[in-house]
Amino acid sequence: MTRLTRRQFGAGAGAALAAVAAPRLARAQAKPPVVVIGGGVGGATAARYLAQEGLGVTLVEAKERYITCFFSDLYLAGLRSLDSLTHGYDRLAQGYGIKIVHAEATGIDPAGKTVELGTGATLPYERLVLAPGIAFKFGAIDGYDEAATHIMPHAWVAGPQTELLRKQLAAMEDGGTFVIAIPPDPFRCPPGPYERASLAAYYFKQFKPKSKIIVLDSKDAFKAQELFEEAWARRYPGMIEWLPAQFTGGVEAVDLKGGVVIAANARFPAAVANIIPAQMAGHPAEAAGLTDKSGWCPVDPETFASKLQPDIHVIGDAVIGGEMPKSAFSANTQAKTCAFAIAAALNGTPPAAPHLFNSCYTFLGPDDAFTNAINFKPVDGTLKTTDFFLSKVDATTEQRRRMAVEAGGWYRSFMRDVFG
């Protein structure tokens, strides 16, 4: 594994992205039907690139608008509107000829190669792509079920939960304690809970300076820990307390009426509690027989074809991705690799070599961010890191500010790539 500078990585990743993103001409007049279930980053990207490959694509997504979970911590801190994180499907329909069906996928028949919809309609497919995202393991924490999310929100699927957590933080009295409970690996967006603590601290520093944040981790260490802890000491001294599992024994229960988060070795009264549950693949994947004992979906890392069901592919957070994290950018590059593999198989052409990488920006404050970028390749049936870049702990104030500015441009260009 090679560690690169941002400039070195950008040259290689940029070339790879150009190769992956370049549209190809359809090689056949017929348009074999491909159905994509899930209109998040992975599903929308797959639908777009499948259509560019000359295939007939139907995208099934119950919601008419998609709100990105990434960058939603900025909304919690009052730095972005929820509208700025909300995207529709019109450009995919009008610009790429994708049929958008706003309905629930209620059943999949792998033998008959059909998808049943909540409307009663049935969609046939030659290939099926699932981008089902995550589901939560409610009950893993005693007292924390789906009903409890209306009192102690997870805000790990953007939308009403995010709005609820924002309202609770705004209503919290100065001097209150905000408790964040972090789930065991793997989970969606590994840096996200620590970014949330950082941006909540920024908000408190402006409006509730006597308030505290307690981060209850299910782990004893986390990625980019030095970057976060340096920023917490520099920007928010004494405001954020991170407690590893070895100190607390891990979160075991919640007392909703008392507003208490209960760990094995201590109780933590909370004015606001953000409980992020343990996760697994979204329910459509489990219902279709695409998950194994881990609760996630094993796939061929070169095509993202399911190892459990023929002619079905799974992308995004639901997959067992080896060293590739569960992130939006991972889902995006997986979707492109999957789309090109399906097109090659249906058009009878040689498959392209996969280009798999992840890039993201993490905020420590409105003018303070860091970035990482990682390349992956399939090795022995899984995905392994080949080289990576991570911002340095001793980055200058100007470098941190520049990363925050770049992050805004990254978000805009990324959403154009996903939704057209």
Q: How far apart are CA 6 and CA 128, in angstroms?
A: 36
Sign of CA dihedral 81, 136, 185, 107: negative
Token pair of 400 as six digits:
């941190």
Q: How far apart are CA 252 and CA 261, in angstroms?
A: 8
85 and 130 housed in the same domain: yes
Which band of pLDDT confidence, cut at 50, 70 and 90, is reported for residue 76? Answer: very high
Q: How far apart are CA 141 and CA 305, in angstroms?
A: 33
246 and 328 housed in the same domain: no
Give the total number of structural domains in the chain.
2
Q: How far apart are CA 36 and CA 59, in angstroms?
A: 5
Look at the pTM and tell me if it is higher than 0.75: yes
Residue where one domain finishes, among candidates 239, 254, 275: 275
292 and 402 housed in the same domain: yes
Q: What is the pLDDT of residues 245-264, one digit of tens each?
A: 999 999 999 999 999 999 99
| Mean pLDDT score, 213-229 | 98
Question: Does residue 230 have a pLDDT over 70?
Answer: yes
Question: Does residue 52 have a pLDDT over 70?
Answer: yes
Which band of pLDDT confidence, cut at 50, 70 and 90, is reported for residue 11? Answer: very low
User: 78, 254, 278, 243: which is closest to 152 by C-alpha?
Assistant: 254
Which residue range forms the structural domain that includes residue 195?
142-275
Residue where one domain finishes, among candidates 247, 275, 303: 275
Asked if 114 and 127 count as a contact pair (C-beta separation under 8 A), the reply is no
350 and 373 housed in the same domain: yes
How far is the CA of 414 from the CAs of 70, 319, 411, 420, in angstroms? 12, 21, 5, 10
291 and 386 housed in the same domain: yes
79 and 120 housed in the same domain: yes
289 and 403 housed in the same domain: yes
Asked if 43 and 316 count as a contact pair (C-beta separation under 8 A), the reply is yes
Longest dimension (CA), the chain: 66
253 and 307 housed in the same domain: no
Question: Does residue 22 have a pLDDT over 60?
Answer: no
SS3 138: coil
77 and 36 housed in the same domain: yes
Which band of pLDDT confidence, cut at 50, 70 and 90, is reported for residue 390? Answer: very high
- State the alpha helices, DSSP H only, in 56-159: 72-76, 90-96
44 and 74 housed in the same domain: yes
Percent of the chain with pLDDT over 90: 90
Percent of the chain with pLDDT over 70: 93
Q: What is the pLDDT of residues 316-353, one digit of tens each?
A: 999 999 999 999 999 999 999 999 999 999 989 988 88
Sign of CA dihedral 324, 326, 332, 334: positive
Helix 328-347, helix 41-52: angle, nearest 10: 30
Question: Does residue 14 have a pLDDT over 70?
Answer: no
89 and 192 housed in the same domain: no
DSSP category for residue 223? T
182 and 265 housed in the same domain: yes
| Mean pLDDT score, 193-201 | 98
> Mean pLDDT score of the chain, rounded to an integer?
93
Question: Does residue 6 have a pLDDT over 70?
Answer: no
In one-letter notation, the amino acid at residue 281 is: A
Please report the pLDDT score of residue 1 as a whole number: 55
| Mean pLDDT score, 16-36 | 57
Asked if 363 and 73 count as a contact pair (C-beta separation under 8 A), the reply is yes
Question: Does residue 35 have a pLDDT over 90?
Answer: yes
Question: Does residue 98 have a pLDDT over 50?
Answer: yes
User: 38, 94, 101, 124: which is closest to 338 by C-alpha?
Assistant: 38
- CATH of residue 229: 3.50.50.60
Residue where one domain finishes, among candidates 275, 300, 327: 275
Least confident range of 343-352, 370-379, 385-394: 343-352
Rg (CA), the chain: 21
| Mean pLDDT score, 267-282 | 98
